[in-house]
Amino acid sequence: MKKQAKISNAVIKRLPRYRRYLNELRKKGVDKISSNEFSSLIGYTASQIRQDLNNFGGFGQQGYGYSVEGLYNEISAILGLDKNYKMVVVGAGNLGRAIANHTYYYKTGFIVEGIFEIDPELIGKKINDVEIMNYEDIVEFVEENDIDIGIICTTKDVAQEVADKLCFAGVRGLWNFAPVDIETPSHVAIENVHISDSLHSLAYHMSKNAEEKNK
Amino acid sequence: MKKQAKISNAVIKRLPRYRRYLNELRKKGVDKISSNEFSSLIGYTASQIRQDLNNFGGFGQQGYGYSVEGLYNEISAILGLDKNYKMVVVGAGNLGRAIANHTYYYKTGFIVEGIFEIDPELIGKKINDVEIMNYEDIVEFVEENDIDIGIICTTKDVAQEVADKLCFAGVRGLWNFAPVDIETPSHVAIENVHISDSLHSLAYHMSKNAEEKNK
């Protein structure tokens, strides 16, 4: 696999979507797909698709199309999804439970090893056989179990503090659901998920539709 | 407020982020901000910021900067956040409950009016004073209460069917959390949220960091 040094974030953000569609095709038993067919499925232009995939050396052959299985595996490898990741969830509220369940049901290489809380009523309970533990013990747990990713499902006001503790304990990535942009040292990757941003985009498109209608 | 006909989706997707940062500034009592100051805060280049905001007629004045409050209000209006939206949640599992709670706590103009389920054990219960109702009654409820947005927190296999029913009942937008891209008629706006896409981006950045380290 040929990798290039610098691929834009915009391309990286599209790869999980490519992978999802390829996975659906795989499951349906589709072997090959042309960039035109892929375009009508995924909603990007064929030239965009060719350009995106060329970033990684180009997997397609002229007049033949892409191998669905091959491309799926390559994109999975590029995304680092051919490895396993150990994760902890901080915060066992509804969102923490939803995320823990979500990764459990989709049985990918992302494994929740522990869930941490400060609420004594929740500590000791289990979610999908994973114990809810005392947040005070998180550094020790992360260190001893070589945890890769911390998932932050706390309130906004404590999120950065939790992030700092997780970074100190040695995680390599943070997946943050608290509605604040968390900062990390450069060796720790961060994805800040702002659920309401997509609701605000939705509101925009609804307003646009209403304007069109009233024209 | 001057609006232009066609603004790229990429710009639209950045607006909620601008708004979030402006909101933080407002709360801290900041009146004015230059594109350079805004740049160091939000992480886009100053020229990107000027270009993005020029799409909407340009709110800044040369040598003066942007009015935080003014820009916040303008972006809110552009996003359609100066209106109220009535919503229903379909699926009262962890994710449905998390989303219902999320919108409740952030007390914006997005109000959950009803939650719908097929599980008889959940029907009749309440989440933040909002009743969990029988999914069979959803069309009538949406029609009678002029619901604007349907939030889909079901499993993947029923998501499109639920979407079709909500569109039939008259919603103007769908916010979909089921891990499948839902299709809607053109007059119904759709935001498909794929939570795991951001986890996959995170894995990519972690792999890149690991490669850098091993160089």
Per-residue pLDDT at B102: 78
Helices B9-27, B68-78: inter-axial angle, 10-degree rounding: 140
pLDDT digits (tens, 9 = 90+) for B76-104: 988 888 889 999 999 999 889 988 887 76
**Residue B26 is encoded by which pair of tokens?**
């407002």
**Residue A28 is encoded by which pair of tokens?**
């349906």
Top pLDDT among B208 and B172 is at B172
Buried b (16+ CB within 10 A) or exposed e, A165-196: bbbebebbbbbbbbbbbbebeeebbbbbbbbb
Q: What's the rounded Cα separation, in Å, for the pair B140 and B180?
A: 26
**Nearest CA-CA partner of B205 in A9, A109, A53:** A9
Mind telling me how many Å the CA of A209 is from chain B's nearest CA?
6
Mind telling me how many Å the CA of A96 is from chain B's nearest CA?
9
Mind telling me how many Å the CA of B199 is from chain A's nearest CA?
7
Top pLDDT among A146 and B127 is at A146
DSSP string, B76-140: HHHTTTTS-EEEEEE--SHHHHHHHHHHHHTTSSEEEEEEEES-TTTTT-EETTEEEEEGGGHHH
Cβ distance A204 to B101 less than 8 Å, yes or no, reads no
Per-residue pLDDT at A105: 60
Per-residue pLDDT at B142: 98
Mind telling me how many Å the CA of A120 is from chain B's nearest CA?
20
> For B31-55, what is the mean pLDDT?
88
Per-residue pLDDT at B94: 87
Q: What's the rounded Cα separation, in Å, for the pair B52 and B59?
A: 11
Q: Which residues of B touch A203 (CB under 8 A)?
A: 79-81, 83, 85, 110, 173
Most confident of A40-44, A205-209, B120-124: B120-124
Distances in Å between the Cα of A146 and the Cα atoms of A139, A183, B44, B123 are: 11, 22, 34, 42
Average pLDDT of chain B is 88
**Residue A145 is encoded by which pair of tokens?**
């179990």
A94, A179, A204 member nearest B12 (Cβ) = A204
pLDDT at A5 over 70: no
**Nearest CA-CA partner of A129 in A110, A146, A115, A150:** A115
A12, A202, A203 member nearest B204 (Cβ) = A12
| pLDDT confidence tier of residue A108, bands split at 50, 70 and 90 | confident
Per-residue pLDDT at B63: 64
| pLDDT confidence tier of residue B182, bands split at 50, 70 and 90 | very high
Distances in Å between the Cα of B68 and the Cα atoms of A196, A203, B45, B60 are: 21, 22, 18, 10
Q: What's the rounded Cα separation, in Å, for the pair A168 and A143?
A: 10
Q: Which residues of B touch A55 (CB under 8 A)?
A: none
Residue A11 phi, psi dihedral angles, 5° rounding:
-65, -45
Per-residue pLDDT at A131: 92
| pLDDT confidence tier of residue A140, bands split at 50, 70 and 90 | very high
CB B15 within 8 A of CB B75: yes
Most confident of A96-105, B19-28, B131-140, B196-205: B131-140
Distances in Å between the Cα of A128 and the Cα atoms of A125, A181, B60, B180, B200 are: 10, 29, 52, 24, 22
Distance linking the first and last C-alpha atoms of chain A? 52
Per-residue pLDDT at A107: 63
Distances in Å between the Cα of B131 and the Cα atoms of A120, B64, B100, B167, B215 are: 28, 50, 11, 22, 57
Mind telling me how many Å the CA of B64 is from chain A's nearest CA?
27
| pLDDT confidence tier of residue B57, bands split at 50, 70 and 90 | low
**Cα torsion for B92, B98, B104, B109, to the nearest 10°?**
-90
Q: Which residues of A touch B191 (CB under 8 A)?
A: 198-199, 201-202, 205
CB A86 within 8 A of CB A151: no
pLDDT at B1 over 60: no
> For A66-73, what is the mean pLDDT?
89
Q: Which helix (H) or strand (E) holds A192?
A: strand A189-192
Q: What's the rounded Cα separation, in Å, for the pair B105 and B107?
A: 5
Cβ distance B81 to A148 less than 8 Å, yes or no, reads no
Q: Is the ipTM of this complex over 0.85?
A: no
Cβ distance A97 to B94 less than 8 Å, yes or no, reads yes
Residue A89 phi, psi dihedral angles, 5° rounding:
-105, 130
Average pLDDT of chain A is 88
Please, which residues bridge with residue A111 across strands?
A86
pLDDT digits (tens, 9 = 90+) for A124-136: 999 888 999 999 9
Cβ distance B106 to A19 less than 8 Å, yes or no, reads no
Q: Which residues of A touch B179 (CB under 8 A)?
A: 20, 106
| pLDDT confidence tier of residue A106, bands split at 50, 70 and 90 | low
- A33: helix, coil or strand? strand
pLDDT at A142 over 50: yes
Edge-to-edge strand ranges of the sheet holding B130-134: B126-127, B130-134, B110-117, B85-90, B149-152, B173-176, B189-192
Q: Which residues of B touch A200 (CB under 8 A)?
A: 15-16, 19, 79, 81
Q: What's the rounded Cα separation, in Å, for the pair B193 and B199?
A: 12
| pLDDT confidence tier of residue A138, bands split at 50, 70 and 90 | very high
| pLDDT confidence tier of residue B14, bands split at 50, 70 and 90 | confident
Tokens 């939206």 locate to B85
Report yes or no on whether pTM surpasses 0.90.
no
B95, B174, B203 member nearest A79 (Cβ) = B203
Cβ distance B148 to A189 less than 8 Å, yes or no, reads no
| pLDDT confidence tier of residue A11, bands split at 50, 70 and 90 | confident
Q: What's the rounded Cα separation, in Å, for the pair B142 and B213?
A: 54
Per-residue pLDDT at A2: 45
Q: What's the rounded Cα separation, in Å, for the pair B89 and B28?
A: 34
Tokens 């349906």 locate to A28
pLDDT at A214 over 90: no
DSSP code at position A130: E
Mind telling me how many Å the CA of B98 is from chain A's nearest CA?
5
Tokens 């064929």 locate to A46
pLDDT more than 90, % of chain B = 49
| pLDDT confidence tier of residue A62, bands split at 50, 70 and 90 | low
Cβ distance B172 to A97 less than 8 Å, yes or no, reads no
Tokens 């900062």 locate to A183
pLDDT at B201 over 80: yes
pLDDT digits (tens, 9 = 90+) for B99-156: 888 776 666 789 999 999 999 999 999 988 899 999 999 999 999 999 999 999 999 9
Q: What's the rounded Cα separation, in Å, for the pair A188 and B13?
A: 25
Per-residue pLDDT at B59: 60
Q: What's the rounded Cα separation, in Å, for the pair B154 and B159?
A: 6
